[in-house]
Chains A and B, each alone.
Chain A
């Protein structure tokens, strides 16, 4: 199994995750439960509905903010960064 893993970056740190899973699953696999802060209170957010409906799991993926982590498949060398607020401030 391990030789099939792909390499990604999470806030600059290298992680090995399985291929063919969602960005959210990759983040959970790497031990992250929150990857965004809310616009108002700065509260942590991660996966909630997991099916693309709630927009809670937004994350910055390869410099693009507001990507729903549950709806996008992880790719080798993806760089995920914690999204602060709108991700555009």
Chain B
């Protein structure tokens, strides 16, 4: 079937996850006419497979923490735009150490984060019990991170996109596969061909998450993003047992690890609907969605160490997905020097929801030719060196 010549936009965002939603939102705020294209539905990829974490606590000092701190502030503003439907909760996080030694390590880590602007307070005894009454009393101590927040990521992405569509600021094309990214004779981006029509724009933002490497390849550039699988357990709805986002000290090490083999660490949090979410596993096994019940039981056992009160509780279901993993754990954000008009906003691994607001913010600044709030050099797509075409 011949492609019909489609409409012209100022920018096309590929990917209707939470990162794509934020990119489209800030681009529209800047006055651009924006199209959002996704091969599935809104939040059908990694956004719909996560916990909705907006965290500063699990990030070591560096470019990602700076991005997370900016994003945390921007999310606070964005919630005013989206409204209460996205279930944003400024609940704070607790990193728990069971042994005195791990608690001491957590405090050293927290001290380094405080120098970057993170609020991180060591808590023990009665103070810790007041923050998290059902936490295992055998824990030596925890670091409390009041800036950590949580949202329901599918609702956040959907309501943000829906609001901008209703306002006539963006056009949404779901179930629309991008089959090529077109470039002019000078190499500059001219739009995308889709399974439905060709969309024209001088700017294409690659917000395809775990599949960002495929979109980059369509534009003729290499971005090394690999899937890192994770499972999450969902309990039956409960009265509030878990008040914060609570995780064991080993979680931070796992997030930062390059291991391909399975790693698990307890991450437990309640949701507004009453269910408790239990994570988190990380492994690089390609796009294999097969449930691994040994991982499920390991995660459940680790959650019980944090919250023994969950032992009488039933699991309702599990879900899983694929984090977009980059070899250096940093996302790919900003213009691609190899293709004028191509911008990347992908590869956020497990932090995409949290980093989405800042990502959209700096992408819009960059597209508009403004100075970006943060230096984007650490996030450059060309940082990986060898390009294998």
A interface residues with partner B (beta carbon < 8 Å) = 39, 55, 58, 65-66, 86, 88-89
Q: How far is the CA of A88 from the CA of B239 in the complex (A)?
A: 7
Contact across chains for B238 and A86 when beta carbons are under 8 A apart? yes
User: Is B316's beta carbon under 8 Å from chain A?
Assistant: yes
Which B residues are CB-close (under 8 A) to A86? 236-239, 274
Which A residues are CB-close (under 8 A) to B239? 86, 88-89
Smallest Cβ-Cβ distance to A40: which chain B residue: B273
18 A-B pairs within 8 Å (CB atoms) are namely A39-B237, A39-B273, A39-B274, A55-B316, A58-B236, A65-B236, A66-B236, A66-B237, A66-B314, A66-B316, A86-B236, A86-B237, A86-B238, A86-B239, A86-B274, A88-B238, A88-B239, A89-B239
Shortest distance between the CB of A38 and any CB in chain B (Å)? 10
Which A residues are CB-close (under 8 A) to B238? 86, 88
Which B residues are CB-close (under 8 A) to A66? 236-237, 314, 316
Q: How far is the CA of A66 from the CA of B239 in the complex (A)?
A: 13
Which A residues are CB-close (under 8 A) to B237? 39, 66, 86
Which B residues are CB-close (under 8 A) to A55? 316
Inter-chain residue pair count (beta carbon < 8 A) = 18
Interface residues of chain A: helix, strand, loop or mixed (majority): loop
Given contacts A39-B237, A66-B316, 9 further A-B pairs with CB under 8 A are: A39-B274, A55-B316, A58-B236, A65-B236, A86-B236, A86-B239, A86-B274, A88-B238, A89-B239
Shortest 7 CB-CB distances between A and B: which pairs?
A: A66-B236, A86-B237, A89-B239, A88-B239, A86-B238, A86-B239, A39-B274
Which A residues are CB-close (under 8 A) to B274? 39, 86
Q: How far is the CA of A86 from the CA of B316 in the complex (A)?
A: 13
Which A residues are CB-close (under 8 A) to B273? 39
Which B residues are CB-close (under 8 A) to A58? 236
Shortest distance between the CB of A26 and any CB in chain B (Å)? 21
Shortest distance between the CB of A72 and any CB in chain B (Å)? 12
Smallest Cβ-Cβ distance to B316: which chain A residue: A55
Q: How far is the CA of A71 from the CA of B314 in the complex (A)?
A: 14
- Which residues of B282-335 are within 8 A (CB) of A? 314, 316
Smallest Cβ-Cβ distance to A53: which chain B residue: B317
Shortest distance between the CB of B297 and any CB in chain A (Å)? 20
Shortest distance between the CB of B235 and any CB in chain A (Å)? 9
Q: How far is the CA of A22 from the CA of B221 in the complex (A)?
A: 57
Shortest distance between the CB of B16 and any CB in chain A (Å)? 25
Smallest Cβ-Cβ distance to A67: which chain B residue: B314
Q: How far is the CA of A89 from the CA of B314 in the complex (A)?
A: 16
Shortest distance between the CB of A70 and any CB in chain B (Å)? 14
Q: How far is the CA of A87 from the CA of B237 in the complex (A)?
A: 9
Shortest distance between the CB of B311 and any CB in chain A (Å)? 14
Q: How far is the CA of A86 from the CA of B236 in the complex (A)?
A: 8
Smallest Cβ-Cβ distance to A38: which chain B residue: B237
Smallest Cβ-Cβ distance to B234: which chain A residue: A55
Which B residues are CB-close (under 8 A) to A89? 239
Shortest distance between the CB of B307 and any CB in chain A (Å)? 14
Q: How far is the CA of A65 from the CA of B274 in the complex (A)?
A: 14
Which A residues are CB-close (under 8 A) to B236? 58, 65-66, 86
Q: How far is the CA of A65 from the CA of B237 in the complex (A)?
A: 10
Which B residues are CB-close (under 8 A) to A39? 237, 273-274
Smallest Cβ-Cβ distance to B235: which chain A residue: A66
Smallest Cβ-Cβ distance to A65: which chain B residue: B236
Q: How far is the CA of A58 from the CA of B237 in the complex (A)?
A: 11
Which B residues are CB-close (under 8 A) to A65? 236
Shortest distance between the CB of A57 and any CB in chain B (Å)? 13
Shortest distance between the CB of A45 and any CB in chain B (Å)? 12
Shortest distance between the CB of A6 and any CB in chain B (Å)? 25
Smallest Cβ-Cβ distance to A68: which chain B residue: B316
Shortest distance between the CB of A69 and any CB in chain B (Å)? 14
